[in-house]
Amino acid sequence: MKILILVRHAETQHGFDMADKDRELKMNGIKEAETMAKRLTEKNILPEIIVSSHAKRTMQTAEKMAAVFNVANLKIEYLESLYNASPLHIKTAIAAIDDTYNSVMIVCHNPGITDFVNALKSKTTFGMPTAGVAIFTIETNHWQDFFESKNELLLFDYP
């Protein structure tokens, strides 16, 4: 059994005078990320690894959440391929995760994260708000097989 924690980055500043990937979290976004991490901690749903887009806002979301998790040796990886990733790019990133990790958090962007969640959960269509979290249990031992394996939406939450 694997646990997949999918997170959309928290609320960001508008980027009129900067490159999109350089946009930072607003103070409210920092609070959103910390709030969601506290909720997951209270439910004892903690990642063993966080894989994030390399955009500043996703990196900050991942780092703020990791600080609240306070898990020893929690690894954070940053992938350029998750920046504004399509569902296929998200799927590819997950399939490449080492099978020794049973609980993985992915932090990325809309619309890809919403489309990906909806592809996993076929009965309901919903959007991922900023700092939104969708958690799936997946009946597999291998991340490369997760998309074809039986999954169940365990939790959908947002600040």
DSSP 34-81: HHHHHHHHHTT---SEEEEESSHHHHHHHHHHHHHHT-TT-EEEEEGG
pLDDT score, position 53: 97
Report the C-alpha gap between 34 and 14 in whole angstroms.
21
pLDDT score, position 125: 65
pLDDT score, position 139: 96
pLDDT score, position 21: 86
pLDDT score, position 122: 60
pLDDT score, position 15: 66
Per-residue pLDDT tens, the chain, 159 aa: give them. 999 999 999 999 876 677 878 888 899 999 999 999 999 999 999 999 999 999 999 999 999 999 999 888 899 999 999 999 999 999 999 999 999 999 999 999 999 999 999 988 765 667 899 999 999 999 999 999 998 999 999 999 999
pLDDT score, position 2: 97
Instruction: Provide φ and ψ at 123, rounded to 5°.
Output: -80, -30
